[in-house]
Structure 1
Amino acid sequence: MSAVHRLTLGDVLAEHRRGRPQGTAVVDGDVRLTYPELDERVDRLVGALAGDGVAPGDRVLWLGRNSFRVLELLLACARLGAIFCPANWRQSADEIAYVLDDLTPRVVVWEESEAVEKARGQVVPDARWIRAGEEYETYLTSGNTAFSGIMDDDAPVLALYTAAFDGRPNAALLSHSALVAHSMALLHMRQMEDGFTFLACGPLFHVGTMMFTLATFQIGGKLVFTPAYEPDEVCRLIDAEKCTQAFLFGPMIDGLVQANRDGRYDLGSLRFVSHSPEWDAMITVDDSPWCASGMGGYGQTEVGGMLTFLGLGMGGEGFAGRPSPLVHVQILDPDGREVPPGEVGEICARGHSLFSGYWNRPELNAEKSAFGWHHTGDLGRREDDGTITFVGPKLRMIKSAHENIYPAEVERALKTHPAVADAAVIGVPDDRFGQSPKAIVVLAEGAEATSEQIIEHVRGEIASYKKPREVVFVAEIPKRGYTPDYDALDAAHGGGAYPGA
């Protein structure tokens, strides 16, 4: 790519240094940095990392709570062509050891914790370990290696480990161009303007916090960091820094309402989604498409955050809205053909904000990019009005009399029955139909329901051919990661004859 068309995260910082010489970039405790000051620190960090041998494609790992140093490290990696990963520091020692072994970082910046210490003893990566705080600040001044180069904005710069739905997490790689594209779509939907201030009180290893952090950075706003969500401190920071937005959802909002019962903090600068009469009276209820729609849509780490926005389809049939203006979405069947409106298939996408694949997963990457589309692994439906409905994880498919039945869709219908606490669906061999769906159901405590009642309920929710032909009641559903362990369920309840098996 010609340098004329390049725009990396490092370039964005350089432009803010020139265009916002007095603009506050970050606030973190006693630390307040203007954009020129942040740019200077990033340049020094680039020298230190380059002196440690960090080169294009190398990984730098952060193991700690929220900090302005997360942004510094990301921007330094951006200028080096390296890949930065803020990992979940709250994981167990074994889980952190897995990340260390999988990512093989060149440099690890860490905050002391028992789990990190134990994990460090389990693996011996060839990495430089730097404690956050004074050691990090000393390291920042140690760089004596100048580095200059033209980075490819299609190169990955950020790695975020995704939820281990199948028991094994994968690091999704996001490029400069993908992050810039997603930021532009988000700041449009949120109607972010000059002076926008974001409070990063959610975890920065989560795409939900990171996407707003980067959109605020993209527009040259002010980023306020706090180590973790604490209601009193969040209220104080909103008041003191006049925050426009924060990473918040229902229970967190309820905590802020409780902490500010006496009205000692002015939260009026916060332009946020309506939640409750008490909350709405404390803040300014925002009317941007993002907030007016309840911050809805469909997304995942692999698409940079949001793939669709409910704000582009408010009042539509599908509760996930319509795709971001910078992506293209189709609902595909297992053979890569687009299914008609009203039919369920896999949500697949192309576009500027999509990830570059997973770190060190060539087979999975090939599977995920079949037919020239990113396969999200999630099921959806394009409604007659063009909006999209998210159904649930794909995981596997049942083939019954030439009809495709996705367990996730049937499970969703099962769980709308008031007596059902949990449910999973498997396919069992059927001499007539090839397979038929069987439901394994956990009833809510004190609830009663018969198989016939459960089946009839599902018949009313989805197409009749998708209903289970048998229901088995159990005490619990075995899980693998966050999802049902279908192999265990097959073994216990006679599953099999899946297509392709």
Structure 2
Amino acid sequence: MSVVQRFTLGDVLSEHRRGRPLETAVVDGDVRLTWPELDDRVNRLAHALAADGVGPGERVLWLGQNSFRVLELLLAANRLGAVFCPANWRQSADELAYVLNDLTPKVVVWEESEAVEKARGQVTLDARWVKSPEEYESYLSDDATEPAGAAEVLSGTPALALYTAAFDGRPNAALLSSTALIAHSMSLLHIRQMENGFTFLACGPLFHVGTVMFTLATFQIGGKLVFTPAYEPKEVCRLIDAEKCTQAFLFGPMIDGLVEANKEGDHDLSSLRFVSHSPEWDAMITVDDSPWCASKMGGYGQTEVGGMLTFLGLGMGGAGYAGRPSPLVHVRMLGPSGEEVAAGEVGEICARGASLFSGYFNRPELNEAKIAGGWHHTGDLGRREADGTITFIGPKLRMIKSANENIYPAEVERAVKAHAAVADAAVIGVPDDRFGQSPKAIVVLKDGQTATAEDIIEHVRGEIASYKKPRDVEFVDAIPKKGYTPDYDALDEQYGGGAYPGA
């Protein structure tokens, strides 16, 4: 007789209910929940979702800003064997309509916005729509018992879907199981040296794997999760002080915003154990010496691997600035024929292991290509150095990195070409002192048509998320091509492209 080795996100919550009955699990505005209170609400939500037809393999969608309800929805869906997806609320109506049609959720929980309202009018979807917060609380069932069937949900069942990888102009939903999410959490717990009492402030977007991975690692260890709708410097400073946050989702420009917001010293930020950034910042916080923070939060990752595939904290001082792989994965650099290339040679970064995703939702052909030879092909190039550490070279296909956001030229090009006056377009990334890179559109107009740079930028703003729009537009007579695709190297050289990830 063998012991069942099942362990899901729902099981983690059940264990915290018993092991941490008096501790605070989540804080969100006036909401403060202990672990037993959170567990009761998750069960009540699971019963409500089940009544609306949510069961194994079905999808539940969140369209809104950060909220403790995102965690509740993930856990409730997991107890039913369903998949939860927090979508990018900053997307345009067209982009949101695409997600709705692609994911075909049974239940949509949404916050009021013009884009969501427009997207809802563009689709024909057999789904229950629950408005948050107005309808959400009354939507919960009165039954706080664990739903029937929860004990049969397997660890490898997809639990979370995150849209990513829009290399062909439209994104795909990467599916991550409890096994993958828990494995990644355990690796991150190790590198970040998270201990009892760890408190994470989710001030980054919960549709982004960077925020999700720390949220779930904190959940895994039974720490306190503090939610705020979006990054607002003064409120973030207040929350760090009030809740004694240990960690928050922050990067350069966000940190600079906190320094400015707290320049009078109104809030005590010393509980935050974070990365050294500037003398002013370092004086406000406690500079952390964990491998994660000491290495400047470095490594290589993507949504499909749960967040981080390699950690610089496991290879500080090594030749490769992406460090070494997580203890729970294998990484290989493979050539075009699937052979492993020698150390020092560039190949595609490929991986397999506990934290890897389960494939993309409803993309059988893409999934087959992505797992050729039994390895996940990341689409990125890397090199294994002589000392065994890894260097990330850059995407096989072009990608622009603006602040902490990935912008895929194909997606922006599709939006630019939708303008009535545009005959052809290409998008490159140009260096940006503040955000690393910003998109620049190279545009060919149709004969007899006119348009200004402002016209193009405003049009794109209406097609896709505002942060993806080009900040500059160059009008030309023709786009240089390599075969059927733009010659991006020539465009970079002529129009100032550069600073791509890995360069």
- Range of TM-score over shorter length: 0.7 to 0.9
Q: In the alignment, residue 338 of structure 1 is paired with which amino acid?
A: E
The equivalent of 1:285 in structure 2 is 287
Which shows bigger deviation, 350-359 or 146-155?
Answer: 146-155
Query: Contact 1:348 / 1:375 at 8 angstroms: preserved in 2?
Result: yes
Query: What is the RMSD computed on CA atoms of the aligned residues?
Result: 2.9
Cα shift readout 1:345-381 (whole Å, capped 9, x = no counterpart)? 1000010000000000000000000011000000001
From 473, 476, 480, give the equivalent of 1:493. Answer: 480
SS in 2 for 1:391: strand
Cα shift readout 1:423-471 (whole Å, capped 9, x = no counterpart)? 9xxxxxxxxxxxxxxxx999989xxxxxxxxxxxxxxxxxxxxxxxxxx
For residues 130-145 of structure 1, what are the structure 2 equivalents within 5 Å?
Answer: 130-141=130-141
- For 2:272 and 2:256, the matched residues in 1 are separated by 15
SS in 1 for 2:154: coil
The equivalent of 1:237 in structure 2 is 239
- For 1:221 and 1:475, the matched residues in 2 are separated by 45
Segments of structure 1 that go 5 or more residues without pairing to the other structure are 396-406, 413-422, 424-439, 446-473
The equivalent of 1:62 in structure 2 is 62
**2:337 aligned with 1:335:** yes
Query: Contact 2:43 / 2:144 at 8 angstroms: preserved in 1?
Result: no
Q: In the alignment, residue 324 of structure 1 is paired with which amino acid?
A: S
From 361, 365, 368, give the equivalent of 1:366. Answer: 368
State the identity %. Answer: 76
Query: Contact 2:241 / 2:268 at 8 angstroms: preserved in 1?
Result: yes
- For 1:443 and 1:355, the matched residues in 2 are separated by 29
For residues 31-180 of structure 1, what are the structure 2 equivalents within 5 Å?
Answer: 31-141=31-141, 146-148=147-149, 149-180=151-182
Q: In the alignment, residue 160 of structure 1 is paired with which amino acid?
A: L
State the shift of 1:66 in Å: 0.2
Which shows bigger deviation, 218-227 or 385-394?
Answer: 385-394
Segments of structure 2 that go 5 or more residues without pairing to the other structure are 402-408, 410-425, 432-439, 445-459, 471-475, 486-503
For residues 207-218 of structure 1, what are the structure 2 equivalents within 5 Å?
Answer: 207-218=209-220
SS in 1 for 2:4: helix
The equivalent of 2:185 in structure 1 is 183
What is the TM-score with the length of structure 1 in the denominator? Answer: 0.81
What is the TM-score with the length of structure 2 in the denominator? Answer: 0.80
Cα shift readout 1:171-213 (whole Å, capped 9, x = no counterpart)? 0000000000000000100000000000000000000000000
State the shift of 1:143 in Å: 5.7
SS in 2 for 1:378: strand
Aligned in 2, Cα 1:443/1:257: closer, same or farther, shift over 3 Å? closer
Which has more radius of gyration? 1
Q: In the alignment, residue 89 of structure 1 is paired with which amino acid?
A: W
The equivalent of 2:489 in structure 1 is none
SS in 2 for 1:335: coil
Cα shift readout 1:102-148 (whole Å, capped 9, x = no counterpart)? 00000000001000000000001110000011310000135699523
SS in 2 for 1:173: strand
State the shift of 1:476 in Å: 3.7
Aligned in 2, Cα 1:497/1:277: closer, same or farther, shift over 3 Å? closer
- For 1:89 and 1:281, the matched residues in 2 are separated by 35
Cα shift readout 1:363-400 (whole Å, capped 9, x = no counterpart)? 000000001100000000111111111111113xxxxx
Aligned in 2, Cα 1:3/1:75: closer, same or farther, shift over 3 Å? farther
- For 1:168 and 1:153, the matched residues in 2 are separated by 29
SS in 1 for 2:71: helix
SS in 2 for 1:137: helix
The equivalent of 2:448 in structure 1 is none
State the shift of 1:327 in Å: 0.3
| Matched residues, number | 427
Q: In the alignment, residue 51 of structure 1 is paired with which amino acid?
A: A
- For 1:121 and 1:216, the matched residues in 2 are separated by 38
Query: Contact 1:380 / 1:391 at 8 angstroms: preserved in 2?
Result: yes
- For 2:228 and 2:128, the matched residues in 1 are separated by 26
The equivalent of 1:29 in structure 2 is 29
Cα shift readout 1:19-78 (whole Å, capped 9, x = no counterpart)? 000010000000000000000000111111111111100000000000000000000011
The equivalent of 1:11 in structure 2 is 11
- For 2:36 and 2:188, the matched residues in 1 are separated by 25
Query: Contact 1:166 / 1:483 at 8 angstroms: preserved in 2?
Result: no
Q: In the alignment, residue 330 of structure 1 is paired with which amino acid?
A: R
State the shift of 1:164 in Å: 1.8
Query: Contact 2:329 / 2:355 at 8 angstroms: preserved in 1?
Result: yes
SS in 2 for 1:11: helix
SS in 2 for 1:5: coil
